[in-house]
Amino acid sequence: MLLKLPREGLTLEALFPPLKILLQLLVTGGLLLILRWEPAKSNWLFGSVSFASDHGAQKWCTVLLGAGILYQTNRWLSRRYLNAFTGNTKWDSTKDLMVITGGSSGIGAAVTSRLSNDGTKVIILDIQPPLEKTADNVFFYPTDISSSAEIEQVAEKIRREHGNPTDLINNAGAGNDMLITDQPTAETERIFNINILSQFRLVREFLPAMVKQNHGHVVAVASMASFITQGKNVSYACTKAAALAFHEGLTQELKHRYNAPKVRTTIVHPTLTRAPLVDIITRDEKSRNFCLEPETVSDAIVDQLYSGESAQLILPGRFKFVSGICGFPSWFQELIRDALTSSRKLKDS
């Protein structure tokens, strides 16, 4: 529905769908045909002879048609290249087996709830049990994913009790609001173990079976911090940048080494989201920042799973320009970083 507002209220994203109508080829192309070859019909449509005969209207429709062609071609090429020019894979709730880290709260809990409600068996790996009662097709395995030994043990147990997972969501995350020189080595290692090294370990455990079947989906929940780093958020941003590199490399290996292009890969870059981790990283600043609801991010993830295609999702869409920040002039890059970091309490209190 075009008039349905996001959970976050009236945002720029709520205005995008109506504007996209102007980039639909059937709309602009049909209007241009009417203006050029059926002026009488355009008079009936618009109630204005001057509008129908105005060459300016035809030029604007031509511009919109050209923009629409570029927009649709770009979307088509992006989808085809990300999916190695293969058709989408069918999601089957009765056969797909999902493993999700950090599925007890926040985004992970929202993903788990929707998938399980749709009939998919979901296995949660988390250090804490789910905050709310789960369905019968949800299984919780207490796991410290910062431990390589625990991941190996729980992976073997999952295969023995449920079979090989077909889908993996690396959602668990850790962070803090400490300066580089104040952060103990053990804390830095903890964040790297949870945010990025666990992805290597879990993929090593579950990817071979996906490759063998040429079916599956690996999702990485990254962040806008993959592209831009603030002070007092350095270790977290480093791991999210690494998650992006991991995602890109995994995608290439699936296509060029394993010849398993139908094992899909998706990476998600949400901005601040109302979840326990945000409370740790931003604390008093959260109330001054725009925050996504967990369900907004989880819906984007689940919809992508159901599409059977790979993708890179930036949420909300208005921030897509930030993904290219490294190509901006240096002064503009620093202007953006300064603006973001100035909101953090870096000075001694």
Tokens of 133: 């009662």
> Higher-confidence residue: 8 or 2?
8
CATH 3.20.20.70 fits 97-320, yes or no: no
> Does 244 score more than 90 pLDDT?
yes
The better pLDDT of the pair 318, 120 is held by 120
pTM: 0.83
Interval 161-182: pLDDT, tens: 999 999 999 999 999 889 999 9
Domains of the chain by residue range:
12-82, 97-320
Q: CA 206, 243, 93, 294 torsion: positive or negative?
A: positive
pLDDT at 27: 73
Helix (H, G, I), strand (E, B) or coil at 7: coil
Which stretches within 164-233 are classed as H helix?
185-192, 198-213
Residue carrying the six token digits 């109506």: 18
Greater confidence, 347 or 222? Answer: 222
Q: Is the pLDDT of residue 65 over 80?
A: no
Weakest-pLDDT range from 50-64, 85-99, 173-187, 221-235: 50-64
pLDDT for the residue numbered 185: 96
> How much is the pLDDT for 274?
83
CB atoms within 10 A of CB 323: 16
Active-site option among 121, 232, 236, 262: 236
- What is the model's pLDDT at position 2? 47
144 has pLDDT over 90: yes
pLDDT exceeds cutoff 60 at 50: no
Provide, rounded to the nearest whole percent, the portion of the chain with pLDDT above 90: 57
State whether residue 330 is helix, strand or coil: helix
Active site residue 71: no
- For residue 349, what pLDDT is reported? 40
Residue 35: band (very low, low, confident or very high) from pLDDT cuts 50, 70, 90: low
Closest CA to 96 of 125, 137, 133: 137
Q: Do 105 and 128 contact (CB within 8 A), yes or no?
A: yes
- Which pLDDT value is given to residue 1? 43
Q: How far apart are CA 48 and CA 42, in angstroms?
A: 8
**Residue 240 bears catalytic tag:** yes
